[in-house]
Amino acid sequence: MIKLILTDLDGTLTEDRGVYKVDLEAIEAIRRAQEAGIKVALVSGNSYPVLRGLYNYLGLNGGLVAENGCVVFYGKERLEVCKRMDREILEEFRQRFKLKDSWQNEFRCCDFGFTPAVLNEEMLKWAEDRGVYVNSSGYAVHVAMKPAGKGVGVRKLIELHGVRRDEVAALGDSMTDLEMFQEVGLKVAVGNADEKLKENADVVLNLKSGKGVKEFISSLLDDGTWN
Amino acid sequence: MIKLILTDLDGTLTEDRGVYKVDLEAIEAIRRAQEAGIKVALVSGNSYPVLRGLYNYLGLNGGLVAENGCVVFYGKERLEVCKRMDREILEEFRQRFKLKDSWQNEFRCCDFGFTPAVLNEEMLKWAEDRGVYVNSSGYAVHVAMKPAGKGVGVRKLIELHGVRRDEVAALGDSMTDLEMFQEVGLKVAVGNADEKLKENADVVLNLKSGKGVKEFISSLLDDGTWN
């Protein structure tokens, strides 16, 4: 029985991958799931204020994980669950790879975003040498102190909910969602997800991004699938 | 001919006054207005990152005015159009009135929010003595250095758009929207707006909050009213 749905935002709740517009039918479906007693949480690489604003105004109730796993909010509590970013290492990353800072970086504590969202071998090697976390969501390259990644925040959020992992479903589209998948019972990839995420999913939806989210919630509520 | 719609968020795009959930039919209507060539901007007391997140993910295109008029974003430019808040005066306000800081205050430069959202005579007198701006949106009491208020930001945004004031419509529900009304040609109050705002409106909608926004856009696009 699914009691908590964790959903990624970029590429998952949006109308497609690479676009920002949220799919309104996906939001409607989420509200319907909540009315049926299932909690829904956002798990995203976005900064806390951006995600908290969306959380409030979209009307979600299951809390949120921001900064790609580093900041958790549920009820009235906001927690930082990663180390704060080392400013020297961050500056070195900036100097070396010359990526563009996300406009949200001034509102972040732990996980920083850069575009274009393309990881290369040199970046991976640099991160490994320094013991730093790097990953790409398809919207941004994320840099943080280890341990980081969505798994860290998701573990904390599930603990705050007091549910078992087999009572939790996670929806995602990109490789940053793999770390979230490892923490939950039901791993769901939208139809247009990265191939490697699909290989690690229990369910691959037919429809892309937000329409896939709607498809999943309809199966769950109306057909009783996975319950 | 209306080329730009400025809309308040809290109580206007939401399902009702005093709730946070946005009305999805209002968002759908806004997207339809934009497809018809009308630009739509958010004008709100919220902080910049909260509003910019909503702007991106709701899919708006006309820019935004955040911090109750003090921060303007359009295209790629973010501007501060008020003085930064004097930290001593802010501390004095906190000490004296013992209101609760909005969780967004750490993300603000110029206009600060407090709850409960009730202005009293003592606050008005205090503000007048110090030459400080205070107002209430019904969601928060706002405190800023003068000149502040939605009018300041709206003037700048209209200038950036290069449109005439009679080509701009503004939608609102509370007394903080009065300052926005003074800058535009078509002043529209949702059905459940403050009585005093209604008295200053050219149009009072039949329906409340987000349903009113949908009503307005339908009249504009389908009936050609006000064009």
B161–chain A nearest CA distance, Å = 22
Both B121 and B183 in one domain: the answer is no
Chain B residues within 8 A of A27 when measuring between CB atoms = 24
Q: Per residue, what are the HEC states of B116-177?
A: CCCCCHHHHHHHHHHCEEEEECCCCEEEEECCCCHHHHHHHHHHHHCCCHHHEEEEECCHHH
Q: Residue A223 pLDDT more than 90?
A: no
Does one domain contain both A155 and A133? no
Query: For residues B202 and A174, what is the distance between their CA atoms, to the nearest angstrom?
Result: 49
Does one domain contain both B32 and B71?
Answer: yes
Q: Does residue A227 carry a pLDDT above 90?
A: no
Evaluated on CA atoms B153, A107, A114, A214, the torsion sign reads negative
Count CA atoms closer than 13 A to A93's CA, side-chain side.
Answer: 32
Instruction: Report how far apart, in Å, the C-alpha atoms of A81 and of each of A84, A141, A154, A157 are.
Output: 9, 20, 10, 10
* Contact residues on chain A for B56, CB-CB shorter than 8 A: 20
Q: Minimal CA–CA distance to A198: which of A219, A227, A177?
A: A177
Contact A79, A72 (CB under 8 A): yes
Confidence of residue B40 (pLDDT cuts 50, 70, 90): very high
**Residue B122 is which amino acid?**
E
Range of the domain at B93: 87-145
B8 among known catalytic residues: yes
Nearest to A190 by CA among A138, A135, A113, A116: A138
The pLDDT tens digits for A55-80 are 999 999 999 999 999 999 999 889 99
Shared domain for B56 and B159, answered yes or no, is yes
Question: What's at B141, amino acid-wise?
Answer: V
The CATH number of the domain where B9 resides is what? 3.40.50.1000
Residues of A in Cβ contact (< 8 Å) with B24: 24, 27-28
**Domain closes at, from A145, A173, A191:** A145
Q: Which residues contact B10 (CB under 8 A, 6 or more apart)?
A: B17, B20, B44, B45, B46, B137, B138, B139, B173, B174
Same domain, B132 and B218: no
Confidence category of residue B223, pLDDT binned at 50, 70, 90: confident
pLDDT at A98: 97
Is A22 within 8 Å of B57 when comparing Cβ atoms? yes
Give tens-digit pLDDT for B119-173: 999 999 999 999 999 999 899 999 999 999 999 999 999 999 999 999 999 999 9
Instruction: Return the pLDDT at A225.
Output: 80
Residue range B188-197: average pLDDT?
98
Provide the pLDDT for residue B65.
98
Whether residue A17 contacts residue A209, with contact meaning beta carbons closer than 8 Å, is answered with yes
Q: Could you tell me if A218 and A200 lie in one domain?
A: yes
Q: How far does CA A173 lie from the centroid of its chain?
A: 9
B20/A56 CB distance under 8 A: yes
Per-residue confidence (pLDDT) for residue B189, from 0 to 100: 98
Residue A204, token pair as written in the block: 């691959």
Q: How confident is the model at residue B227 (pLDDT cuts 50, 70, 90)?
A: low
B contact set with A (CB within 8 A): 9, 14, 20-22, 24, 27-28, 31, 46-47, 49-54, 56-59, 78, 103-104, 107
Q: Quote the CA–CA distance of A205 and A217 in Å, as a whole number.
A: 11
Q: How confident is the model at residue B115 (pLDDT cuts 50, 70, 90)?
A: very high
Residues B98, B36 within the same domain = no
User: Which residue in the set A21, A49, A104 is minimally distant from B47, CB to CB?
Assistant: A49
What six digits make up the tokens of B74? 């359009």
Condensed to tens digits (0 to 9), the pLDDT of residues B50-95 reads 999 999 999 999 999 999 999 999 998 899 999 999 999 999 999 9
Q: Confidence band (pLDDT; 50, 70, 90) for A81?
A: very high
Mean pLDDT (whole number) for A213-224: 94
Residue A37 has pLDDT above 70, yes or no: yes
Q: What is the mean pLDDT of residues B167-187?
A: 97
Token reading at B213: 């926004």
Q: Are residues B141 and B153 in the same domain?
A: no
Which letter, b or e, does each residue of B100-138 get, where b requires 16 or more Cβ atoms within 10 Å of its Cβ?
eebbbbebbbbbbbbeebeeeeebeebbeeeebbbbbbb
Q: What percent of chain A has pLDDT over 90?
A: 96
User: Residue B224 — pLDDT band, cuts 50, 70, 90?
Assistant: confident
- Each residue of A162-186: pLDDT tens digit? 999 999 999 999 999 999 999 999 9
Same domain, residue pair A162 and A73: yes
Distance of CA B83 to the CA centre of its chain: 19
Cβ neighbourhood burial of B213 (10 Å; 0-12, 13-18, 19+): buried
| Residues B139 and B184 placed together within one structural domain of the fold | no
CA atoms of B90 and B82, how far apart (whole Å): 15
Residues A131 and A156 in one domain: no
d(CA B179, CA A50): 26
In B36-120, alpha helices (H): 48-58, 87-97
pLDDT tens per residue across span A100-132: 999 999 999 999 999 999 999 999 999 999 999
CATH classification at residue A94: 3.90.1070.10
- B57/A27 CB distance under 8 A: no
Confirm whether residue A222 is marked as ligand binding: no
Buried b (16+ CB within 10 A) or exposed e, A185-199: ebbbbbebbbeebbe
Q: How many domains does chain A have?
A: 2
